[in-house]
Amino acid sequence: MKKIGITGQNGFVGNYLYNTLGLAPNDFERIEFKKEFFDEPNLLDSFVQQCDVIVHLAAMNRHESQEFIYETNIELVKRLAASLERTDSKAHVLFSSSSQEEKENWYGKSKKEGREILANWAKNNNGKFTGMIITNVFGPFGMPNYNSFIATFCHKLTHGETPVIDNDGEVKLIYVGELVKEIISQIKVAETNEIYEVAHTSTNKVSEVLSKLNHFKSTYLDKSEVPALNSIFDFNLFNTFRCYFDLKNHYPVLFTQNIDPRGAFVEVIRLGMGGQVSYSTTVPGITRGNHYHTRKIERFAVIKGKALIQLRKIGTSEVLDFYLDGENPAFVDMPIWYTHNIKNIGNEELFTIFWINEPYNPEDADTYFENV
């Protein structure tokens, strides 16, 4: 079991890494870190002495003074290096540098020089060091106007504001979960690698990202429909977007109940990636359906009560009877060109869940009524 400490434990990447390591308690022990340790050499030394691995993520990304960013980040690295020297640590140190290393800005300069300071410590003290060059990171719970333009866009769209694009360039991106997987991989490898370039996982124009987020807002936030997610990037971006909701004011979302003398019919969810889920209640003696489809895939699942589901192929006379009981939940799928119905044959309300591969469209319903 490796004992792992994370400076910047409560930051965007640090918190994700900390929580992910917690999913494998037999492999990793997490050593708690607090930012105050940098101000107290004895506390920092105690932390360092406990660690087999130290992931140095603590850094300042933004400030009105670029020089202050540089000075702060370099000072944090120097204090960590000094503690490693004082304690004669043999820990494997991983440092999060940035693809901005070669750019003419103080943040990039602080990252490059910080990496070199820790690499020199490893050379001079027989230590292990991995300098990870990381591109733009996005993911859930990043701070808007600080960690990522995606965090800013997500926060604005979910809080009634309109995002503005300052520079519509192409951006190389990596999802925080993908980055954390890379960090853990390097922890397991446990080898010195002074410059390890973490590959980005997608390249997108800023306007393309905003277009996707606007689509998520119009479908999921405004209409509660899960949109089609056609790539891993879309999936990760959607899960990021969902984390910026004002949950206390958004939920619970009331269902629309369509009630008539037969009972109630409620659409549970529409899925741009997988159709529509609904449920119905049906009072005793009532029959629903008596229609068929020519292309739709449909499933009836009985979860409470007693039901008779009947199917008949169009143009034939044979009726297939299926008896279902919620005591043993079961389902029947409806083949195309089979008219079908469901009847409550019990003495209590019948509860049925329906799934169909496309939401109902009155202009192209593919629903043709004919009694079974």
Q: What is the pLDDT of residues 36-50, one digit of tens each?
A: 999 999 999 999 999
Structural domain contains residue 203: yes
Residue 178 and residue 66 share a domain: yes
Structural domain contains residue 61: yes
Structural domain contains residue 246: no
Residue 117 and residue 32 share a domain: yes
Structural domain contains residue 230: no
* Of 146, 138, 213, 151, the residue nearest 180 (C-alpha): 138
Distance of CA 339 to the CA centre of its chain: 41
Q: How far is Cα 13 from Cα 139, in angstroms, rounded to an integer?
A: 9
- Do residues 368 and 284 touch, judged by C-beta distance below 8 A? no
Residue 207 and residue 280 share a domain: no
Per-residue pLDDT tens digits of the chain, which is 372 residues long: 999 999 999 999 999 999 999 999 999 999 999 999 999 999 999 999 999 999 999 999 888 888 999 999 999 999 999 999 999 999 999 999 999 888 878 999 999 999 999 999 999 999 999 999 999 999 999 999 999 999 999 999 999 999 999 999 999 999 999 999 999 999 999 888 899 999 999 999 999 999 999 999 999 999 888 889 999 999 999 999 998 988 888 887 877 888 999 998 888 878 887 888 999 999 999 999 999 998 898 989 999 999 999 999 998 999 999 999 998 888 888 988 899 999 999 999 999 999 998 888 999 999 999 999
CATH of the domain at 336: 2.60.120.10
Q: How far is Cα 216 from Cα 240, in angstroms, rounded to an integer?
A: 11
Residue 324 and residue 188 share a domain: no
**At which of 148, 180, 212 does a domain end?**
212
The pTM score is 0.83
Residue 198 and residue 276 share a domain: no
For residue 196, what are the domain limits? 2-212
**At which of 212, 227, 242 does a domain end?**
212
Residue 178 and residue 109 share a domain: yes
Residue 279 and residue 148 share a domain: no
Q: How far is Cα 80 from Cα 91, in angstroms, rounded to an integer?
A: 12
Which residues lie across from 134 on neighbouring strands?
98
Residue 199 and residue 86 share a domain: yes
Domains contained in the chain, number: 2
- What is residue 278's predicted lDDT score, i.e. its pLDDT? 93
Structural domain contains residue 251: no
Structural domain contains residue 186: yes
Residues in the chain: 372
149-157 and 232-242 helices, crossing angle to 10°: 60
- What is residue 321's predicted lDDT score, i.e. its pLDDT? 94
CATH of the domain at 109: 3.40.50.720
Residue 13 and residue 127 share a domain: yes
Residue 131 and residue 266 share a domain: no
CA atoms within 13 A on the CB side of 321: 5
Residue 144 and residue 90 share a domain: yes
Q: How far is Cα 13 from Cα 181, in angstroms, rounded to an integer?
A: 11
* Of 14, 314, 318, the residue nearest 142 (C-alpha): 14
Residue type, 359: P
